[in-house]
Chains A and B, each alone.
Chain A
Amino acid sequence: MDSNSKPNVRRAVRVTAGAGLERWRVRTAWVFLAPTLAVLALVAGWPLLRTAMLAFTDAYLSRMAEARWVGLENFRWLLTDGDWWRSVQNTIVFTVASVSVQFVLGLGAALVLNVRFAGRGLLRAVVLIPWAIPTVVSARMWRWMYHDVYGVFNDLGLRSGLLAQPVAWLADDTTAMAAIVVADIWKATPFMALLLLAGLQAIPPGLYEAARVDGVGRLNAFVYITLPLLKPAILVALIFRTLDALRVFDLIYVMTSNAVSTASMSVYARQQLIDFQEMGYGSAVSLMIFFVIAVFVAAYVTAMRASLVEEG
C-alpha cells in the first residue's frame, strides 16, 4: 500500500478541498463515460454516418470503388417505387393492427393478473413465454400452424365446420398480413401486459375502497379511476410498441420472406441492400426509415422527459 499512499493523500486533500471536488468529479465522470461513448460512436454513430454518405451515391457492393455521387437521385427513385410504398402501407397496417389489439388483450391480461388468486405467480410466468421465445423460432412455429395442408388452424377450421376448405394463410394475399399480425400479437402482448400491470399495481387500492363506499359501480370506477391513472403507463407502452412495430423485420422475413404483399420497410431495405447489392439505393432507403423512426423517437423522448421532470 506504500506506493499508493502518496497519490491517496494528494487525492484525499483534493477531495476535501471543496471547490476542486466538483470539477474533479466531473472529469472522472467523463473519463468513465469515454469507453461507452467510444463504443457507441463506433458501432452506432459511424455506421449511421456511413449509411448517410452511401445514400447519395450509386454504390454497388461488388464495385464499391466505382461509386459516384448521384445527389438525390436515389430518393427520387424511392418515391416512385411502388414496392416501397407497398412496404410503407404494410408497415403501417401491421403497426396499427398489432399495437391496438395487443393493447386491448394486454390490458385484459393485466386486469386479470392484478387480482390476487391462487396460481397468479405461475400465470404471470407463463404469460412471459411468448416474449422469451426468439422471434425467428415463433415465426417458424406459427408458419407450421398456418401450414396449408398439415397446419393446426386448417385442421381445427375444417373439423369445426368454420372452413369449407384449407386456407393457404401465408401464401394468400388477403390473409397473409392478418396471419402475421396475429403472430406478432401473440409475441408482444406479454410485454404490453406487464407494463400495464405495473401501472395498475401503482394505483392505491384505497381509491377503489373509497369509490365502493360511495356506491360507484365497477365499470365507472374503471373508467374514471383506473384509466386516467393508468395514462402514463399506457403512453409508454404504446409508444414503445409502436417504435418496435415500425421497425419490424424478423417476423415478416422468416414467415413470408421478401413477398411484396407483406414486406415491411425494413424487409424492403434489406432486400435492396443485401440481395440486390444496391449499397447506394439501399442506404437511401435505410436513411428514410431512420428519419421516420426518429420522428417517433423524438415524440417518445419528449413524453419521457415530461414524466421524468414530474418525478423530479
Chain B
Amino acid sequence: MIKTALERTGFAAAVVAIFTFSVFPLYWALITSWQKGSEVYTVRYLPSAISWANYRAVFIEQSFGHNLVNSALVAAGTVGVSLALSVFAAYGLGRVRFRGRMLLLFTILGASMFPQIAVLSGLFELIGWMGLYNRLPGLVLAYLIFTLPFSVWVLTIFMQRLPREIEEAALVDGASPRVVVLRILVPLVRPAMVTTGLLAFIAAWNEFLFALTLTLTDRARTVPVAISLITGASQYELPWGRVMAASVIVTVPLVLLVLVFQRRIVSGLILGGVKG
C-alpha cells in the first residue's frame, strides 16, 4: 500500500507524531520529578542529573504508600464483587430466554450512564446511613454503580455465545445451576472475566469524584484524591516536583499493566464500548 519514498516518509512522520503525542506529557512529568527542589524552575528537555528526592518526600511526608494500599484494596474489592455478581447475572441474561430480558439488560447498562453528580447526594446520604463514610467498603459499594453494569454487559455477550449442549448435559446429569455456572461456564468465559476485571480495576483505581466526596482522611483516601490534594496555598507554592513524582508513581504500574495486557484491554473496550 505504501509505495513511494514520499509516502513512506510521510507515514514514518505520522508514526513519530503519534508516538510523541502519546508519550510526551508522561516524559515531561518524569523529567520534572527527577529534578531536585528549585531545579524544577529551569526548563530542561533532557534529564541532567537524576534525583529521587521528590519520590522520597512523597512517601515520607504525604503517606502516599497508605493511599496506594487503599486504592489497591478498593480496586481489588470492586473487581471481586463485580465479577462474582455479574457472572451469575450474565447466566440469567445470556442463557435464558424470558420476557423483559432485553429491557432489563439495557436498564442495567443505563445505570452506568448516570452522570455521577445525579446520584452523589443520595449516595452520600446512603453511605452515611450505612456507617460506611470514610471507609473502604463504602467506596467499593459506590464503584459498583459503573463496574457492575459493564461486567454484566460483557459477560452476557460471552455467555450468549457458548453452545447449549455443554449446559444441557450437565443439567441432565443433575448438576445444580450454581454448579453449572461455577464449574462449567466460568472456565469458558475466563478470558472475558480477566478483561472485565482489568478494565474494572483501572476504572476503580482512576475514579475521583466519589472518592473525593465519600472519604475524609487518609484512612480511606485513594490515590487520585491524594494527588489532587498535594497543594500549597497558591499556585506558586505547588510543589511541582512532588506532584510529578506522585503522578509517575501512580502511572508506571498502570502503564505496565496496559502494555502487558494490551490485547485483552483493547478487545474489552471495543466489546463494551464503555468509558475508560
Contacts and interface: CB of A to CB of B under 8 A. Distances in A.
Interface of A: 8-9, 11-12, 15-16, 25-26, 28-33, 35-37, 39-40, 42-51, 54, 108-109, 112, 115, 117, 119, 121, 123-138, 140-142, 144-145, 147, 149-150, 152, 155, 186, 190-191, 194-195, 198, 236-237, 240, 243-244, 246-247, 249-250, 254, 265-266, 269-270, 273-274, 279, 282-283, 285-287, 289-290, 293, 297, 300-301, 304-305
A48 B119 contact: yes
10 contacts: A40-B145, A51-B118, A134-B208, A136-B206, A136-B228, A141-B26, A191-B275, A254-B228, A266-B115, A274-B120
A30 B92 contact: yes
Given A144-B240, A195-B270, A286-B118, A134 B14 contact: no
Interface in B171-189: 171-177, 181
Contacts of B228: 136, 140, 254
Interface in B245-266: 247, 250-251, 254-255, 257-259, 262, 265-266
Contact of A141 (B40, B205, B225, B247): B247
B208 A51 contact: no
Interface in B194-231: 202, 205-206, 208-209, 213, 223-225, 227-228
Q: 8 tightest A-B contacts by CB?
A: A47-B122, A50-B122, A29-B92, A8-B174, A47-B119, A29-B96, A134-B206, A36-B89
Interface string B84-123: 0110110111011010001010101111011111111111
B171 A15 contact: yes
Contact of A269 (B109, B117, B273, B274): B117
A301 to B, nearest CB: 5
B18 A109 contact: yes
Contacts of A28: 92, 96, 177
B19 A43 contact: no
B29 interface: yes
Contact of B111 (A11, A44, A289): A44
Contact of B106 (A124, A290, A301): A301
A244 B95 CA distance: 31
Contacts of A12: 171-174
- Which of B14, B174, B225, B227 lies at the interface centre, i.e. has the most chain A CB atoms within 10 A of its CB? B174
A115 B205 CA distance: 33
- Which of A133, A290, A305 lies at the interface centre, i.e. has the most chain B CB atoms within 10 A of its CB? A133
Contact of B176 (A11, A152, A304): A11
B5 interface: no
Per DSSP, chain B at the interface is helix
A9 B176 CA distance: 11
Contacts of A247: 115-117
Contact of B93 (A25, A29, A39, A134): A29
B74 interface: no
Nearest to A155: B43
B209 A135 contact: no
Nearest to B8: A117
Contacts of A283: 121
A234 B230 CA distance: 39
Contacts, number: 286
A40 B111 contact: yes
A279 B270 contact: no
Given A36-B86, A48-B122, A125 B227 contact: no
Given A47-B121, A137-B247, A290-B114, A128 B28 contact: no
A43 B247 contact: no
B145 to A, nearest CB: 5
A287 B243 CA distance: 35
B121 A286 contact: yes
A43 B144 contact: yes
B121 A273 contact: yes
Interface string B40-83: 11010000000000000000000000000000000000000000
Contact of B1 (A115, A147, A304): A115
Contact of A36 (B28, B32, B148): B148
Nearest to A269: B117
A91 B88 CA distance: 38
Contact of B209 (A43, A150, A249): A249
Contact of A43 (B93, B104, B126): B126
Contacts of B233: none
